[in-house]
Homo-oligomer: A and B are copies of this chain.
Amino acid sequence: MNGTNIENALCTAAEEFEKAFAKYFEHKDADLKIVSDAMRYSALAGGKRIRPFIVNEFCKLFGGDVSASMSLSCALECVHTYSLIHDDLPCMDNDDLRRGKPTCHKVYGEEFALLAGDALLTYAFEIIANAKALSDSAKIHAVKLLSSLSGIEGMVGGQTIDLESEGKSIGIDKLIKLHLLKTGALIRCAAKLGVIAAGADENALESADKYGEALGLAFQITDDILDATADESELGKPVGSDKENGKVTFLTFMSVEEAYTEAKRYADMAREAIGLYEKSQMLTELSEYVVKRNK
């Protein structure tokens, strides 16, 4: 694996994405300033932009152009951003910092952070409906996917299980279900939105689904390993917090070494799901990177 290759690609793609994304946050009405500022603050707060990368790479994998998938990338990142804003609220995780910066409600107040999250979620669907390069049928397919994978039977369902499991000793099946929904659903959504933008068929959607599902689990297991073993200065956030909070993780059920093997197994499944297609190198490298990263 050429770590530099994928890291460079992620970095270049993130820059390209930021430019497109920023254009959606130029609201001008002075009366709405505090909430539109709060939306922009959280939306443009950086991050690896892995979901947009997956959307656009899947579009390219099936012969589409990024100009067709970028609006879907932006819509999906709106949903991801809203979920972070609401997750950080005092009644949820009560976090003061995200990526080293004050969380949205710390800067704008709880009520405006709540509204900014609501507005971003709503905006996601507006962005899809107004996407220029997509047919109505592709747009409706995208709305269907995004709404089902981010709602009660998707991401919100995962947050529900997560909150319900606090302080309880859940089994590994429930833990996998939790992660398949909480983080996995949007990663699957990313892969499938890319396929829709490319106008590809059911087989392609199925491959994307398998890739996203496996990649999400590889990502989560690696996160659990990093929380237990990483160097705090390298990771850029406190380590050992899972153990401290008595949180059930994959390491509750296996050793670090076993977990690493399991993460690699899922990364292999992701790779295999797209192995048949030409030009799948970047997405293959992403699946390897997800497990080998140190932050």
Q: Which residues of A contact B (CB under 8 A)?
A: 27, 29, 31-32, 34-36, 39, 82, 86, 89-92, 109-112, 114-115, 117-119, 121-123, 125-126, 128-130, 136-137, 139-140, 143-144, 146-148, 150-153, 156-157, 159-161, 163-164, 174, 177
Would you call A143 and B129 a contact (CB within 8 A)?
yes
Chain B residues with CB under 8 Å of A156's CB are 35, 115, 118-119, 122
What CA separation (Å) do A148 and B117 show in the bound complex? 15
Would you call A112 and B143 a contact (CB within 8 A)?
no
Would you call B153 and A29 a contact (CB within 8 A)?
yes
Would you call B144 and A129 a contact (CB within 8 A)?
yes
**Chain B residue with the shortest CB-CB distance to A152:** B119
Would you call A118 and B121 a contact (CB within 8 A)?
yes
Of B92, B112, B122, which contacts A150 at CB under 8 A?
B122
> Binding site of A, secondary structure by majority: helix, strand, loop or mixed?
helix
What CA separation (Å) do A259 and B264 show in the bound complex? 70
What CA separation (Å) do A40 and B247 show in the bound complex? 30
Of B91, B111, B123, B151, which contacts A111 at CB under 8 A?
B91
Would you call B115 and A129 a contact (CB within 8 A)?
no
What CA separation (Å) do A143 and B129 show in the bound complex? 6
Would you call B114 and A31 a contact (CB within 8 A)?
no
**Chain B residue with the shortest CB-CB distance to A136:** B136
Would you call A114 and B143 a contact (CB within 8 A)?
no
Would you give the shortest CB distance from A112 to chain B, in whole angstroms? 7
Of B115, B140, B150, which contacts A136 at CB under 8 A?
B140
17 A–B contact pairs at CB < 8 A? A31-B157, A31-B160, A32-B152, A34-B160, A34-B164, A39-B152, A82-B118, A86-B114, A91-B109, A114-B114, A115-B156, A119-B151, A119-B156, A123-B152, A125-B125, A139-B143, A140-B140
Chain B residues with CB under 8 Å of A110's CB are 91
Would you call B143 and A125 a contact (CB within 8 A)?
yes
Chain B residues with CB under 8 Å of A119's CB are 151-152, 156
**Chain B residue with the shortest CB-CB distance to A130:** B144
**Chain B residue with the shortest CB-CB distance to A115:** B156
What CA separation (Å) do A127 and B134 show in the bound complex? 21
Would you call A31 and B177 a contact (CB within 8 A)?
yes
Of B35, B118, B153, B174, which contacts A27 at CB under 8 A?
B153
Would you call B31 and A174 a contact (CB within 8 A)?
yes
Residue picked from A34, A110, A119, A161, most chain B C-beta under 10 Å: A119
